Structure 1
Amino acid sequence: MTTEAGGDVRLSGISKTYGSFTAVHPLDLTVPQGSFFALLGASGCGKTTTLRMIAGLEEPSSGTVRLGEQDVTALPPYKRPVNTVFQSYALFPHLDIYENVAFGLRRRGIKSVKKQVGEMLELVQLGEQARKKPHQLSGGQQQRVAVARALINHPKVLLLDEPLGALDLKLRRQMQLELKRIQTEVGITFIHVTHDQEEAMTMADTVAVMNAGRVEQLGSPADLYENPRSTFVANFLGTSNLIEAEVDTRKGDDIVVKAGDCKLTLPESRCSAPTTTGGELLVGVRPEKISLAHADDAGGIPPGRNRITGKIADSSFIGVSTQYVIDSPVCPEFEVYVQNIDRDTRLVPGTEVVLHWNPAHSFGLDASQSPLAGTTGAADTQAVGEEAA
């Protein structure tokens, strides 16, 4: 998959095999200059191997790596204009923060480092911590030191390998915004490897979703979420309800499908599978796009909306919303998220309900795919040990 040419990083036909195991199938990828790009996927999908090939820490089995107009495929890591930030930070414990950041400049024989180190520490908002040792800083502060130490060398590309994995949830969310701010200020290409969907969607301009050594889909976070092209992407990025259906008729730019004893409508432009009459389709809709009505109130549902009936099997109050699981003849364990604005106290397990949504929020996927691809259980079975790969 390729975006526009002329980007900072261009991978052409790059692959990696270990004996009979293929960690990365041949892929073409262009990372636009100055962008924040994420490689997202479960453990063992090939994302770290791809990053290591860009860094020069792994030799590709085939293909080329170009940075700008330079072919760097045969260059060792230290000759490539890239720096890598790892999850472990790898700071020098005996050096203070100032000297950790200055290390790369001093190693290159630069004598006057004060101005550059000062600017970097200000960029990562650690100016007042300059004379502390790494062990005196929090995990988030240590991570910012690692970023400053990498950026002071003015790399064309900064590679981030699960950089926030060791942080707790609150600090991780804080650092997501911090890294995005730093990237915007310095304007350098960031390539970020993560298994965390929220992390990728919060920070990246463009996300490549990887699965089993291949890029499943490439796009902006909003596009991937709203228009998934495979069941893996639909399930891996958030939650999707997938309804088995059969194409029935066409209605203008929409198609009408039969699911059980009801008919549903969706835009043909949002189908990534053939829509021939009689063909099978998986109709997807996100849980937060659906409204939930008590069966007694079904008459008040506006015309033209997709609707299915069911019974509440379970509900969970999670503060910002209530998450319902609905048993429906059309789709078992149908999930609906309802914001807690005006809670209907009648909506308890056992209640008959009608689910309804705007047909434009539906998408169609190829029914030959597993509806469980990309879910937690399915992802676990795909883990192949990326460390070895």
Structure 2
Amino acid sequence: MTTTTPPAAPSASTERGGAVRLTGIGKKYGQFTAVHPLDLTVPQGSFFALLGASGCGKTTTLRMIAGLEVPSSGTVHLGDEDVTGLPPYKRPVNTVFQSYALFPHLDIQENVAFGLRRRGVKSVRKQVDEMLDLVQLGDFARRRPHQLSGGQQQRVAVARALINRPRVLLLDEPLGALDLKLRRQMQLELKRIQTEVGITFVHVTHDQEEAMTMADTVAVMNAGRVEQLGSPADLYENPRTTFVANFLGTSNLLAGHVADVSGEDVAVTVRGTTLSLRGDRCATSPAPGGDILLGVRPEKVSLVPAEDAAGIPAGRNRVTGRIATSSFIGVSTQYVIDTPVCGEFEVYVQNIERDARLVPGAEVVAHWSAAHSFGLGADQDIDAGVRTADTGEEAA
């Protein structure tokens, strides 16, 4: 395994200046609002992701940070410096795009050295070697871009950007051109590189897994606004809107009425079935008689044949139904259950000890802990954020 030597640590002044702060930043194109005025702070040294479907405003936001788009309102600060009026080449940021834009006539060493030579730096060999070691391409210095794989070319593009020692590295869908297996490898590579150099990364992607794998903090964007901001685990476990619940993975959302609130316990009636959740997992204030959406992730739910229902521990939420379809996907089997509370209730069962009785047509009971339920406001579109299988775009 290649031993990497990280570049020299940033100076104290650079550390103070590495945070990105957007204040009231917005962008209009005529009558169309691409980004509604928003406030956003990216901490120094963090890996930050802007996540959303096509057209949500994430790339426009990134381009305003880079200086490639002029905001219609608001300011962009890097640390204490207001860079709103500065052109791109005067901002201490570099951008890596999906198209790597490597120079085909130059070898990898000269591609990485390009930025330094353009600035008039005479002695570049040591810095270039450090960067190639960082991205684990030291043995490929004399190869041309066409002799490298897509993932290796992407690492060259990252090295070329980092060698200029920017305060912030901006990544615009950098892994979109790679196949699934290589994309997953590069997710880990980018996170490793960011951890080693300690530079602030701002990453734009429409891929939920990509954002959740790499980022410390994720801003989920929708229609030019930030729907929710937080750590990947918090966004997944505690969605505050139906868009976030549906866009980040899969959720079973059940429309019901609050039957009772007793301390932290909330009882919800869904089409004659009483289910429970905890008040601290509600994005809205539940009140008896009010409407609410009760949600649960498919992997939080257990599934047993109806004849085994007596063995379900007391206090768990229960939904009876019949298996409509099942799909084996390796790590788990995904079931769609036809139930009184929901026509398509999804359950993901890990493939450890598969029960041969769980087949389409079987009568079953789905059950889960009340602590795994979450509550959302019933005034939202229950299908917001659902991505259609044929287009991959968010349902309107």
Q: TM-score, normalised by structure 1?
A: 0.96
SS at match of 1:102: helix
Aligned to 1:253: 264
Change (3 A) 1:308 1:7: farther
| Superposed CA offset, 1:104-131 (max 9, x none) | 1111111000110000000000011001
Q: Distance in 1 between matches of 2:332 and 2:25?
A: 44
CA distance in 2, matches of 1:50, 1:192: 11
Alpha-carbon contact 1:224-1:233 (below 8 Å) kept: yes
Q: Are residues 1:102 and 2:76 paired?
A: no
User: How large is the Cα RMSD of the aligned pairs?
Assistant: 1.3
Distance in 1 between residues matched to 2:328 and 2:262, nearest whole Å: 39
- Specify which of 201, 210, 222 is matched with residue 212 of structure 2: 201
Say yes or no: does 1:85 pair with 2:96. yes
Give the alignment of 1:315-330 within 5 angstroms. Answer: 315-330=326-341
Q: 2:384, 2:395 within 8 Å by CA — same for their partners in 1?
A: no
Q: Does 1:10 align with 2:10?
A: no
Does residue 24 in structure 1 map to residue 24 in structure 2?
Answer: no
2:243 paired with 1:232: yes
Identify which of 31, 53, 57 aligns with 2:64. Answer: 53
Percent identity, aligned pairs only, is 78
Counterpart code for 1:299: A
Which secondary structure state, in structure 2, belongs to the residue aligned with residue 376 of structure 1?
coil
Q: How much does 1:347 deviate?
A: 1.0
Q: Which residue of 1 aligns with 2:140?
A: 129
**Distance (whole Å) between structure 1 residues aligned to residue 60 and residue 287 of structure 2:** 40
Matched, 1:337 2:348: yes
State the match for 2:13 in structure 1. Answer: none
Contact 2:18 2:200 in 1 (8 A): no
* 2-structure distance, mates of 1:32, 1:369: 31
The aligned length equals 379
Q: CA deviation at 1:379?
A: 7.2
Say if 1:379 and 1:129 are closer, same or farther in 2 by CA, change over 3 A. closer
Confirm or deny that 1:380 pairs with 2:393.
yes
SS at match of 1:111: coil
CA distance in 1 between partners of 2:24 and 2:282 (Å)? 28
Aligned ranges for residues 274-285 of structure 1 at < 5 Å?
Answer: 274-285=285-296
8 Å contact from structure 1 (residues 57, 77) kept in 2: yes
What pairs with 1:49-198 in structure 2 (closer than 5 Å)?
A: 49-198=60-209
Q: Distance between the aligned counterparts of 1:221 and 1:234, measured in 2? A: 12
Amino acid at match of 2:211: A
In the alignment, structure 1 residue 221 sits paired with structure 2 residue 208: no
- Cα offset for 1:274? 2.6
Q: Deviations over 1:47-78 (max 9, x none)?
A: 00000000000000000000011000000000
Aligned partners of 1:15 and 1:63 also within 8 Å? yes
The match for 1:38 is 49
Letter of the 1:200 counterpart = A
Q: Which aligned pairs between 1:341-356 and structure 2 lie closer than 5 A?
A: 341-356=352-367
Deviation at 1:34, TM superposition (A): 0.1
Whole-angstrom CA distance in 2 between matches of 1:7 and 1:246: 48
CA–CA separation in structure 1 for the residues paired with 2:63 and 2:238? 30
**1:380 to partner: Cα distance:** 2.8
Q: Given the alignment, which residue of 276, 282, 292 partners 2:303?
A: 292
Cα distance change, pair 298–169 in 1 and its aligned pair in 2 (3 A) = same
Cα deviation digits, residues 190-247 of structure 1 (max 9, x gap): 0000000000000000000000000000000000000000000000000000011100
Query: 1:125 and 1:274 mapped to 2: Cα distance?
Result: 51
Asked if the contact 1:309–1:328 (Cα under 8 Å) also holds between the matched residues in 2, the reply is yes
- Unaligned runs of 5+ residues in structure 2 are 1-15
- Whether the aligned pair in 2 keeps the contact of 1:7 and 1:30 (CA below 8 Å) is no
**Once the two structures are superposed, what CA deviation does each residue of 1:264-287 show, in whole Å capped at 9, x if it has no partner?**
110101111231111110100000
Alignment match, 2:325: 314
Verify the 8 A CA contact 1:288 1:337 in the aligned structure 2: yes
Give the aligned partner of residue 386 of structure 1. none
SS of residue matched to 1:232? helix
Q: Which amino acid aligns with 1:88?
A: S
Equivalent residue of 2:235, what SS?
helix
Deviation at 1:252, TM superposition (A): 2.3
- Supply the AA of the counterpart residue of 2:226: V
Shift of 1:260: 1.3
Deviation track 1:348-386 (CA, whole Å, cap 9, x = no partner) reads 111111110000000000111111100113973679xxx
Deviations 1:162-186 (A, max 9, x none): 0000000000000000000000000
> Using the alignment, how far apart are the partners of 2:263 and 2:133 within structure 1?
58
In the TM superposition, what whole-angstrom CA distance separates every residue of 1:86-143 from its partner, at most 9, and x where no partner exists?
0001111111100000011111111000110000000000011001111111100000
**1:340 positional shift:** 1.0
Give the C-alpha shift of residue 156 in structure 1.
0.1
Structure 1 stretches lacking a partner, 5+ long: 384-389
**Paired letter, 1:224:** L
